[in-house]
Amino acid sequence: MSYSDNSGSLCTVCGAGETGLFVIKELVRHGFTVTAVDLDPEALKRAADLGESIGTVQGNCLTDSILNKSALIDARALFCVLPDDRSNVFLSLSAIRINPELEIYSVASDISAERKLKLVGTRRTVNQDTAEGFRISNEMIRPNVAKFLDRIVFAREKTEGYLSIEISMGCPSAGWTLKKLQLHGKTGVVIIAVRRRDDSYVYSPSGDFRLSEDDNLICFGTEDDREAIKDLLWSSKRETTDRWRKLRNILGK
Tell me, letter by letter, the H, E, C secondary structure of the chain. CCCCCCCCCEEEEECCCHHHHHHHHHHHHCCCEEEEEECCHHHHHHHHCCCCCEEEEECCCCCHHHHHHCCHHHCCEEEECCCCHHHHHHHHHHHHHHCCCCEEEEEECCHHHHHHHHHCCCCEEEEHHHHHHHHHHHHHHCHHHHHHHHHHHHCCCCCCEEEEEECCCCCCCCCCEHHHHCHHHHHCCEEEEEECCCCCEEECCCCCCECCCCCEEEEEECHHHHHHHHHHHHHHHHHHHHHHHHHHHHHHC
Mean pLDDT by 10 residues, the chain (253 residues): 52 92 86 94 95 94 94 92 92 93 87 81 75 63 73 60 84 88 85 90 92 90 82 65 50 51
CATH number of 10-133: 3.40.50.720
For residue 240, the model assigns a pLDDT of 47
**Model pTM score:** 0.62
For residue 55, the model assigns a pLDDT of 95
Parts of the chain belonging to CATH 3.40.50.720: 10-133
Architecture of domain 161-252: 2-Layer Sandwich (3.30)
Parts of the chain belonging to CATH 3.30.70.1450: 161-252
For residue 7, the model assigns a pLDDT of 43
